[in-house]
């Protein structure tokens, strides 16, 4: 039930954004070392970025990763909402910082466990006429009850392929 409520809230947050003035839909990929071990792991996802004036934006993301250790198989799906501050405002070179929260659904050998958690990020994006591209580092705490379960990820993103402006 908790998972259904969180997904519903995520959709309700994104629905008004879908009819907004400046929305970019994009994709991203990052590498991270899971807390359980298993080596470098690829996480891929999609996101919707809504620009709120020159200095802020809101991002809704859905990510997924599958990995294994010598003992277990894991699948991690995240649903996050992040508020991002753009240091230079509306610039073609866009350094930014952000913080957010989300629902983290981790399956261990097929058994699901959903938790709420936090993320903080820093990145540098380059804005071109038809799309945006950039690099980002993110620190994620997937379980707010266990603050020591955090991990770093580093990756790139590309947005703007489906830019919507009304």
Q: What is the pLDDT along the chain (166 residues), one digit of tens a residue?
A: 455 545 555 554 555 544 445 788 888 899 988 877 778 889 999 998 888 988 999 999 999 999 988 889 999 999 999 999 999 998 899 999 999 999 999 999 989 999 999 999 999 999 887 778 899 999 999 999 988 888 889 988 877 644 444 4
Is residue 66, in this structure, part of any structural domain at all? Answer: yes
The CATH number of the domain where 119 resides is what?
A: 2.40.160.20
Is residue 134, in this structure, part of any structural domain at all? Answer: yes
Is residue 68, in this structure, part of any structural domain at all? Answer: yes
Taking the C-alpha atoms of residue 92 and residue 65, their distance in angstroms, rounded to an integer, is 31
Is residue 43, in this structure, part of any structural domain at all? Answer: yes
Is residue 34, in this structure, part of any structural domain at all? Answer: yes
Is residue 165, in this structure, part of any structural domain at all? Answer: no
Cα-based distances in Å from 8 to 4, 77, 160:
6, 15, 25
Is residue 86, in this structure, part of any structural domain at all? Answer: yes
Q: Could you tell me the residue range of the domain that residue 89 belongs to?
A: 2-159
Model confidence, pTM: 0.80
Is residue 164, in this structure, part of any structural domain at all? Answer: no
- Which residue, among 10, 33, 2, has the nearest Cα to 101 in the 3D structure? 10
CA angle in degrees (0–180, nearest 5) for 124-130-133: 20
> 41-52 and 151-159: which strand pairing?
unpaired
As for how many domains the chain has, the answer is 1
């Amino acid at each position: 039930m908790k998972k259904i409520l969180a997904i519903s809230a995520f959709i309700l947050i994104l629905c008004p954004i879908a009819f907004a003035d400046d929305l970019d839909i994009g994709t991203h990929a990052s590498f991270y070392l899971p807390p359980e071990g298993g080596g470098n792991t690829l996480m891929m996802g999609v996101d919707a970025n809504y620009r709120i004036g020159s200095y802020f934006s809101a991002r809704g993301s859905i990510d997924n990763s599958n990995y294994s250790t010598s003992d277990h198989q894991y699948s991690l799906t995240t649903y996050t909402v992040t508020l991002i501050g753009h240091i230079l405002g509306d610039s073609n070179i866009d350094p930014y910082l952000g913080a957010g929260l989300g629902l983290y659904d981790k399956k261990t050998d097929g058994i699901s466990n959903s938790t709420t958690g936090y993320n903080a990020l820093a990145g540098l994006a380059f804005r071109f006429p038809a799309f945006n591209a950039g690099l980002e580092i993110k620190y994620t705490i997937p379980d707010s009850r266990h603050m020591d379960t955090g991990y770093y990820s580093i990756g790139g993103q590309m947005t703007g392929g489906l830019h919507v402006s009304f």
